[in-house]
Structure 1
Amino acid sequence: MQQRHQILLVEDNEADVVIIRKAIDAAGTNADLHIIHDGKAAMEFFDAIDADPAAPSPNLVLLDMNLPKKNGDDVLRHLRAGTRCRDATVLIVSSSDAPRDQSAVASLGIAGYFKKPSDYTEFMKLGPLVRRLLNTGQRA
């Protein structure tokens, strides 16, 4: 049996969590989705993985930019400075399309930047993108 992928979603908006989960499920990904709701908790999660060699690390991190406690670019810098998760595939999933936000993470090795659309059908396009990233590791 094929091992399930592990996806970490760092997202504070519960409505977006529901839609992202639907998009991932509809795309037929073989993945477990783990949710963290703020940047500080995400940093602590990565620290815990670094401290425990037996802890599973995520295959893909879906990271919002605008998070409580610590913002997305701080979380991404922390992730890249760690040991076990530093090479994780990261897709930014954010409502921000500000050039400042995009440039803040571009140099930190992201797989892509998915702008959260207001249209449900457009939002569902995230699912096939996630499946492709999990199956091939290619950039978005």
Structure 2
Amino acid sequence: MKTPNYSDSLGRVNDLLLVEDNPADIRFVEEAINNSSLDVTVHSVSTSAAGVDFIHQRGEYSDALEPDLVFLDWNLQRTTGREVLTAIEDDCSHIPIVILTGSKAKLETDHLPSTKAELMKEKPTDPDGYIEIICSIAPSQ
């Protein structure tokens, strides 16, 4: 999947939603952002239901800011990233979603259920990898 250029429509990424159930991966992304020159606030949730609620700004997330970018773990426990995509695809087409997976084989075999996800990437193994993804989506960073 090629990386779209969002520089005109997206502008800067100020709020990043991370839908991830692994606390170590959450900490890794937060540290990567905090140690970079980016001024990005990371909001993290650990379930697909919480991710959908956050994006739709309902329940405990009714006061949440709409994210400029979503990092979505494709292999959430008890559910999948596919369920998140299906639940939000009609309402949030303007928010870029980057699917992250720890399995290189998943990248090669899974087919996206829609065009909602903009990019499918193997989870970076170093902090700069996350920064590079953000900058590829919003080059003005």
TM category, shorter: 0.7 to 0.9
Structure 2 residue corresponding to 1:127, chosen from 127, 131, 135: 131
The alignment yields a C-alpha RMSD, in angstroms, of 2.8
Q: Which residue does the alignment assign to 1:18? A: 27
Taking structure 1 as the reference length, the TM-score comes to 0.74
Structure 1 gap segments, 5+ residues each: none
| Residue identity in the other structure for 2:135 | R
Alpha-carbon deviations, 1:14-60, whole Å to 9, x = none?
111111112223332211100000111112222335xx997521000
Is the contact between residue 60 and residue 134 of structure 1 (CA under 8 Å) also seen in structure 2?
Answer: no
How far apart are the structure 1 equivalents of 2:57 and 2:74? 22
The secondary structure found in structure 2 opposite 1:125 is helix
8 Å CA contact 2:13, 2:138 repeated in 1: no
Report the structure, 1 or 2, having the larger helix content: 1
Work out which of the residue numbers 118, 123, 127 in structure 2 matches 1:111: 118
Q: Note closer, same or farther for the CA distance 1:9–1:16 as it changes in structure 2 (3 Å cut).
A: same
Which structure has more relative contact order (CA 8 Å, sep 6+)? It is 2
Number of residue equivalences = 126
Q: Are positions 1:91 and 2:90 aligned together? A: no
Unaligned 5+ residue runs, structure 2?
A: 1-11
- Indicate the residue corresponding to 1:70 in structure 2: 79
Structure 2 length-normalised TM: 0.73
1:47-62 to 2 correspondences below 5 Å: 47-48=56-57, 56-62=65-71
Structure 1 pair 45–69 and aligned structure 2 pair: CA distance change class (3 A): farther
Letter in 2 for 1:90: I
Matched AA of 1:13: N
Cα contact 2:13–2:68 (8 A) shared by 1 = no
